[in-house]
């Protein structure tokens, strides 16, 4: 089952790490939402390492995927441990002041609170009333244990032991008809969970001599945004990065290359076992026919003539060599001229390449490249527009992945 685990700002948060470990050992998928206050006790890296999932905290951490609603919708059961007096009060009032509060309002799943606080706070009339309100609404509030609290104090208010919390959670899930048996995919959170995606990003450099090259303006921002978005949605991601200086999040495999030849070899190798290949890199159409091993010197006032030959059409090769049900997505950064518009050239390219989806964006010296908003149109293999998206590159990335997920549905499954 999918367990959404909220961790609030109490010292007992350290014990909840063992709750995550037990749930994972039992074969369940766990997504942790720590509040900002809780990070004073246990860091985000701990939750991500134990759960194998991102541990986001803010409502606006991932706006394009609407996480503040999606996480609550996809949960089979929700556990808040430790639940502080402050958070119980907030939940009783129905507040959505952070990501966890939003997720609780968006879920129809059973909700279990495991309180932890000092005895005086647990017995305070306000807390008693808040707990009664939550129970009236159908939430399950576990009675705290009696024992040593923070400092020399002792009494009711101690967080129950991890195994007791898990057993209580399973009891609530069983009564609610939630399937407890783990599956081979542990009911993952993301809509692309288990899907293997290869993404090329950046721009290739074709060597002229020992120090010079032919290149382009691609920065890799869009390709890297695709990688981060795909990871967030559960995919196994490999990025083939051509001359990109940007960082990638944990859990994303990276292969650095320079030339179109190197990129083609790396992408084809990774594509052999991939469900989806996204060619977001700007690959040079031409390379020098000969490369000098030393720096070419100027000779008086003479110019320099380079003989260029075409590089391999990697996208077309991937389409020809594709495996059954493999989805191939290309990018087309185009400009218009006197002969045709940029969109017309993109439609021609879509028909010529034969990819399942071609993502077209109009570019220029100051347009489309770098960490700037993007605007794209999707074309199918017949050159027919299938949608559009605009906004930040992360927003566009999620729109591309939405289209890929729809392709997966039409092809019955990528997995």
The pLDDT of residue 193 is 77
> Quick one: pLDDT at residue 409?
52
Choose, from 216, 243, 361, 374, the residue flagged as catalytic: 216
The pLDDT of residue 38 is: 95
pLDDT digits (tens, 9 = 90+) for 24-36: 999 898 999 999 9
Strand ranges (DSSP E) for 111-250?
Answer: 111-115, 140-141, 145-148, 154-158, 196-202, 206-207, 213-214, 236-242
Band of residue 59 on the pLDDT scale cut at 50, 70, 90:
low
Q: Is the separation of the CB atoms in 348 and 375 below 8 Å?
A: no
Residue 55 pLDDT level (bands cut at 50, 70, 90)? confident
Structure tokens of 399? 């729109």
- The pLDDT value given to residue 365: 47
CA atoms of 353 and 313, how far apart (whole Å): 9
Distance of alpha carbon 23 from alpha carbon 81, whole angstroms: 14
Out of 250-264, 274-288, 393-407, pick the least confident.
Answer: 393-407
> What's the mean pLDDT in 288-293?
94
99-113, 137-151, 174-188, 371-385: which range is least confident on average?
174-188
The region of weakest confidence among 1-15, 168-182, 269-283 is: 168-182
Domain 196-410 sits in CATH at 3.40.50.10300
Query: Which 8-state DSSP code applies to residue 40?
Result: G
Residue linked to tokens 């409502």: 59
Q: Report whether the peptide linkage leading into residue 82 is cis, meaning its omega lies within 30 degrees of zero.
A: yes
Band of residue 65 on the pLDDT scale cut at 50, 70, 90: very low
Has 40 been annotated as catalytic? no
Domain ranges of the chain: 2-175, 196-410
pLDDT above 90 covers a percentage of the chain that reads 66
Q: How far apart are CA 155 and CA 408, in angstroms?
A: 55
| Residue 282 per-residue DSSP state | B
More confident residue, 358 or 184: 358
Contacts of 338 (CB under 8 A, 6+ apart): none
pLDDT of the residue at 66: 47
Kindly provide the residue ranges of all beta strands, DSSP E only, lying in 38-192, ordered along the sequence. 77-83, 111-115, 140-141, 145-148, 154-158
Residue 237 CA to residue 196 CA, distance in Å, equals: 6
Per DSSP bridges, beta strands 206-207 and 196-202 are unpaired
pLDDT in tens, 298-311: 888 888 899 999 99
How far apart CA 92 and CA 106 sit, in angstroms, is: 15
C-alpha to C-alpha distance for 31 and 53, rounded to whole angstroms: 6
> First-to-last CA distance in the chain?
19
pLDDT-derived band at 184, boundaries 50, 70, 90 = very low
Distance in angstroms (rounded) separating the CA atoms of residues 143 and 128: 12
pLDDT tens-digit profile of 270-279?
A: 999 999 999 9
Which long-range contacts (C-beta less than 8 Å, at least 24 apart) are formed by 252-256? 252/227, 252/228
Category of 278 on φ-ψ map: left (φ > 0), alpha (ψ -120 to 50) or beta: beta
Rounded to two decimals, what is the model's pTM? 0.65
Do 2-175 and 196-410 fold alike per CATH? yes
Instruction: For residue 412, name the pLDDT band (cuts at 50, 70, 90).
Output: very low
The tokens of 146 are what? 């009696």
pLDDT tens for each residue of 342-390: 999 999 999 999 999 999 998 754 455 667 778 899 999 999 999 999 8
Q: How confident is the model at residue 72 (pLDDT cuts 50, 70, 90)?
A: confident
pLDDT attached to residue 175: 86
Summarised one tens digit per residue, pLDDT across range 196-225 is 999 999 999 999 999 999 999 889 999 999
CA distances from 345 to 211, 241, 357, 387 (A): 34, 26, 15, 17
Task: Read off the pLDDT band of 415 (50, 70, 90).
Answer: very low
Q: Is the model's pLDDT at 109 over the cut of 60?
A: yes
What the block records as the tokens of 236 is: 């196994």
Mean pLDDT of the chain: 88
Note the CATH architecture for domain 2-175. 3-Layer(aba) Sandwich (3.40)
What's residue 232's pLDDT?
78
Mean pLDDT of 14-24: 95
Tokens 């701990």 belong to residue = 46
The whole-number average pLDDT for the span 237-248 is 95
Contacts 24+ apart (CB under 8 A), 361-367: 361/331, 361/332, 361/333, 361/334, 362/333, 362/334, 362/335, 362/336, 363/217, 363/333, 363/334, 363/335, 364/335, 365/217
Calpha distance 99→96 (Å, rounded): 7
Mean pLDDT of 278-300: 93
- Helix, strand and coil content of the chain, in percent to the nearest 5, comes to 35, 25, 40
């Amino acid at each position: 089952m999918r367990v959404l685990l909220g961790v609030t700002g109490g010292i007992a948060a350290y014990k909840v790490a063992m709750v995550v470990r037990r749930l994972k050992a039992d074969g369940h998928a766990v997504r942790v939402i720590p509040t900002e206050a809780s990070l004073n006790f246990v860091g985000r890296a701990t939750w991500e390492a134990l759960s194998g999932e991102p541990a986001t905290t803010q409502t606006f951490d991932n706006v394009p995927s609407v996480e503040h609603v999606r996480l609550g919708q996809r949960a089979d059961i929700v556990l808040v441990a430790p639940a502080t007096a402050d958070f119980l009060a907030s939940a009783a009032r129905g507040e959505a002041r952070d990501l966890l509060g939003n997720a609780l309002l968006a879920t129809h799943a059973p909700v279990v609170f495991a309180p932890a606080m000092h005895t005086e706070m647990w017995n305070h009339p306000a807390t008693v009333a808040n707990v009664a309100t939550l129970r009236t609404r159908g939430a399950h509030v576990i009675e705290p244990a009696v024992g040593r609290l923070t400092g020399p104090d002792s009494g009711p208010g101690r967080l129950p032991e991890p195994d007791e919390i898990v057993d209580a959670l399973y009891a609530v899930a069983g009564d609610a008809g939630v399937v407890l048996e783990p599956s081979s995919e542990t009911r993952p959170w993301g809509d692309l969970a288990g899907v293997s995606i290869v993404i090329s990003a950046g721009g290739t450099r074709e060597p002229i001599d020992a120090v010079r090259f032919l290149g382009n303006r691609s920065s890799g921002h869009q390709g890297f945004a695709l990688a981060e978005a795909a990871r967030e949605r559960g995919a196994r991601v490999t990025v083939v990065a051509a001359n990109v200086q940007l960082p990638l999040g944990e859990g994303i495999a990276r292969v650095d290359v320079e030339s179109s030849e190197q990129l083609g070899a790396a992408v084809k190798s990774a594509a052999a076992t991939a469900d989806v290949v996204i060619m977001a890199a700007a690959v040079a159409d031409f390379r020098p026919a000969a490369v000098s091993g030393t720096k070419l010197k100027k000779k008086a006032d003479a110019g320099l003539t380079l003989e260029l030959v075409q590089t391999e059409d990697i996208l077309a090769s991937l389409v020809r060599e594709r495996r059954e049900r493999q989805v191939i997505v290309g990018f087309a950064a185009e400009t218009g001229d006197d002969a045709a518009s940029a969109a017309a050239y993109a439609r021609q390219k879509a028909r010529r390449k034969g990819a399942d989806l071609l993502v077209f964006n109009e570019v220029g010296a100051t347009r489309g490249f770098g960490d700037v908003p993007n605007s794209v149109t999707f074309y199918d293999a017949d050159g027919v527009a299938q949608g559009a998206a605009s906004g930040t590159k992360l927003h566009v990335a999620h729109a591309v992945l939405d289209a890929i997920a729809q392709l997966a549905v039409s092809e019955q499954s990528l997995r």
